[in-house]
């Protein structure tokens, strides 16, 4: 009769041992401690985490969870470095998040090229100093500590331009709704009035402005989850071109020889982003879809309806290799002729094939595929010490990556004048490159590329992400 109580006691001890073992296989987040965010509000960092106080995480999954949260924090673009550690990875754990804030204020003189890329300015326009803008820009990337961005600028030179932008990402407690507004007024002494041989054609008059533009826009952002974002925007545009352009050089610039153009623009954009490092991804994927209605029937100057999108996939192989694939396109649902200044396709807005930096292809529709196999050569840090007065710039991390690329694409322009041979034909280009990544999000690319015409060249690209 004594065996039964002994068996029960033994079973109870075993269950207790199993429970204790199970407890050791999980981490219970008792609290989250933030360090280093002297300007940034705590809530902005906590919004980027994939866990919260009170969560239970499997011990085996803990490193991946912490690393993914670190990537989300870094992808805000507000920190030079972020470290996430667990003080005691067992029953009641405290997660410590330490960040190194970047320099948020950028008041600096403007000295910029107006051409689509450095190579167009250097080769096609013979390094003309007339094609430069100078002025002053003030940018604050974290104005109130809520990740809100303010930009204002004054430009002279090739373009006389005045602009103001403000983006406040979260206006509600749930941190899902945001707002943005912007206004821009520009005047140009030179205007791209047409394209011939898939090269932009320009006319310049140093005595008067040939083109003027006013743009006002605003909208809402909705971010229900860490990886997805919805953007709704409404804008008004007023453009005016000199009669020399609209009546003599290209009556289709605004269509029908019109010298003025007014229209409203309604747009919806969806983002899904699951990349590890957004400025220079190595793993993950991203999707962008854009629906734009230009002209809402009020003025009758523009009537367009386009769908465009892009999907990126990044696949690492081993420790040093990564394959990058990108497929994108544009489809015009209204199949009528569009004004020349609205009929953009390849060569504009980031839709650029390697080897075609000197060319543009206008049209209603386009489709392209870009691929790049990349090899991580090395990374290191440069410590400038006391020679750098700004603390946030004293330690500069640098990555160097070698790449081999191949791109292909095509553009359809049913209303083309026949003077642009790249329309409705398959374009192919590729080459070899070296990429330099500074401070996590500033990318400098040096590429040697060739296109289907066997034209070769050395091309430079730079993205400051400011």
User: If pLDDT is split at 50, 70 and 90, which confidence band does 15 have?
Assistant: very low
> Highest mean pLDDT range out of 87-91, 330-334, 443-447?
330-334
For residues 140 and 313, the model is more confident at: 313
Question: Do 272 and 351 have their domain in common?
Answer: yes
Question: Do 85 and 199 have their domain in common?
Answer: no
Token representation of residue 236: 């008004």
Identify the bridge partners of residue 2 per DSSP, sorted by sequence position.
none
403 and 432 Cβ atoms separated by less than 8 Å: yes
- What's the DSSP call for residue 361? B
Q: What is the model's pLDDT at position 466? A: 44
Q: What is the model's pLDDT at position 444? A: 85
78 and 101 Cβ atoms separated by less than 8 Å: yes
70 and 93 Cβ atoms separated by less than 8 Å: no
For residues 4 and 320, the model is more confident at: 320
For residues 372 and 160, the model is more confident at: 372
Q: What is the model's pLDDT at position 240? A: 97
Residue 142: name the closest of 89, 188, 79 by CA: 79
Question: Do 161 and 84 have their domain in common?
Answer: no
Question: Do 240 and 269 have their domain in common?
Answer: yes
* Last residue within a domain, chosen from 54, 84, 101: 101
CA–CA separation, 390 and 399 (whole Å) = 22
Tell me the CATH number at 220.
2.40.160.50
* Last residue within a domain, chosen from 76, 101, 126: 101
User: If pLDDT is split at 50, 70 and 90, which confidence band does 433 have?
Assistant: very high
* Last residue within a domain, chosen from 101, 131, 162: 101
- HSE-up of 276 (CA within 13 Å, CB side)? 14
In 82-122, alpha helices (H): 118-119
For residue 193, pLDDT beyond 90: yes
Tell me the CATH number at 34.
3.10.20.310
For residue 340, pLDDT beyond 90: yes
Residue 461: name the closest of 48, 119, 7, 61 by CA: 119
Share of the chain above pLDDT 90, in %: 56
Question: Do 404 and 388 have their domain in common?
Answer: yes
User: If pLDDT is split at 50, 70 and 90, which confidence band does 17 have?
Assistant: very low
CA–CA separation, 441 and 433 (whole Å) = 18
Residue 295: name the closest of 256, 240, 237 by CA: 237
Task: Determine how β-strand 365-383 pairs with β-strand 79-86.
Answer: unpaired
Other Cβ atoms closer than 10 A to 22? 9
Average pLDDT, stretch 341-355?
89
Question: Do 380 and 413 have their domain in common?
Answer: yes
Task: Determine how β-strand 26-35 pairs with β-strand 92-101.
Answer: parallel
56 and 73 Cβ atoms separated by less than 8 Å: no
Which of these ranges, 56-70, 373-387, 394-408, has the smallest mean pLDDT?
373-387
What average pLDDT is seen over the chain?
86
CA–CA separation, 73 and 53 (whole Å) = 17
131 and 121 Cβ atoms separated by less than 8 Å: yes
Question: Do 122 and 160 have their domain in common?
Answer: yes
Question: Do 158 and 36 have their domain in common?
Answer: no
| Residue in this structure with the two tokens 């075609």, named with its chain if needed | 356
Q: What is the model's pLDDT at position 18? A: 43
Q: What is the model's pLDDT at position 409? A: 96
CA–CA separation, 269 and 291 (whole Å) = 6
For residue 329, pLDDT beyond 80: yes
For residue 90, pLDDT beyond 50: yes
Q: What is the model's pLDDT at position 89? A: 60
Token representation of residue 271: 């983002």
Domain tally, the chain = 2
Question: Do 442 and 369 have their domain in common?
Answer: yes
By residue count, the chain amounts to 466
Which of these ranges, 171-175, 178-182, 227-231, 287-291, has the smallest mean pLDDT?
171-175
Q: What is the model's pLDDT at position 458? A: 84
Token representation of residue 225: 């989850």
Question: Do 318 and 276 have their domain in common?
Answer: yes
Q: What is the largest CA-CA distance in the chain?
A: 112
Question: Do 138 and 268 have their domain in common?
Answer: yes
In 75-213, alpha helices (H): 118-119
Q: Would the pTM of this model clear 0.85, i.e. be above it?
A: no
CA–CA separation, 209 and 231 (whole Å) = 34
Expressed as residue numbers, the domain containing 111 is 105-463
Strand, helix or coil at 256? Answer: coil
Question: Do 300 and 410 have their domain in common?
Answer: yes
How far CA 331 is from CA of 89, 212, 238, 412, in Å, comes to 52, 28, 25, 10
Strands (E), 365-426: 365-383, 395-412
Q: What is the model's pLDDT at position 121? A: 57
Residue 400: name the closest of 431, 445, 368, 432 by CA: 445
């Amino acid at each position: 009769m004594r065996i039964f109580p002994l068996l029960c006691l033994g079973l109870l001890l075993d269950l207790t041992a199993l429970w204790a073992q199970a407890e050791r296989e999980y981490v219970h987040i008792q609290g989250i401690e933030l360090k280093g965010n002297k300007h940034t509000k705590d809530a902005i960092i906590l919004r980027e985490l994939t866990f919260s106080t009170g969560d239970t995480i499997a011990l085996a999954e803990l490193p991946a969870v912490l690393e993914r949260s670190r990537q989300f924090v870094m992808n805000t673009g507000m920190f030079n470095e972020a470290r996430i550690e667990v003080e005691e990875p067992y029953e009641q754990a405290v997660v410590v998040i330490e960040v190194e804030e970047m320099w948020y204020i950028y008041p600096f003189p403007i000295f910029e090229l107006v051409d689509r890329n450095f190579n167009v300015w250097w080769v096609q326009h013979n390094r003309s100093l007339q094609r430069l803008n100078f002025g002053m820009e003030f940018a604050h990337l974290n104005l109130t500590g809520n990740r809100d961005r303010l930009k204002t600028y004054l430009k002279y030179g090739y373009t006389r331009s005045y602009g103001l932008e403000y983006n406040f990402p979260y206006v509600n407690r749930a941190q899902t709704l945001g707002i943005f507004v912007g206004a821009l007024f520009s005047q140009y002494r030179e205007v791209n009035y047409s394209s011939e041989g898939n090269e932009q054609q320009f006319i310049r008059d140093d005595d008067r402005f040939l083109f003027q533009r006013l743009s006002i826009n605003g909208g809402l952002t909705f971010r229900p989850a860490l990886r997805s974002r919805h953007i709704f925007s409404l804008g008004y545009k007023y453009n005016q071109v000199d009669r020399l352009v609209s009546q003599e050089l290209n009556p289709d610039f605004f269509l029908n020889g019109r010298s003025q153009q007014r229209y409203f623009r309604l747009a919806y954009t969806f983002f899904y982003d699951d990349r590890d490092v957004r400025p220079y991804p190595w793993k993950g994927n991203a999707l962008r879809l854009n629906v734009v209605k230009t002209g809402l029937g009020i003025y009758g100057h523009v009537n367009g309806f386009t769908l465009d999108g892009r999907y990126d996939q990044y696949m690492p192989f081993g420790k040093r290799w990564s394959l990058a694939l990108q497929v994108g396109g544009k489809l015009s649902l209204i199949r009528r002729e569009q004004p020349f200044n609205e009929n953009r396709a390849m060569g504009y807005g980031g839709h650029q094939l390697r080897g075609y930096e000197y060319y543009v292809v206008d049209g209603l529709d386009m489709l392209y595929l870009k691929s790049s196999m990349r090899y991580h050569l090395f990374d290191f840090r440069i410590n400038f010490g006391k020679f750098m007065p700004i603390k946030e710039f004293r330690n500069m991390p640098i990555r160097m990556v070698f790449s081999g690329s191949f791109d292909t694409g095509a553009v359809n322009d049913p209303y083309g004048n026949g003077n642009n041979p790249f329309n409705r034909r398959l374009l192919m280009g590729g080459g070899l490159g070296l990429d330099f990544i500074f401070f996590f999000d500033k990318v400098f690319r040096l590429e040697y590329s060739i296109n289907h015409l066997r034209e070769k060249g050395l091309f430079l690209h730079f993205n400051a992400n400011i």
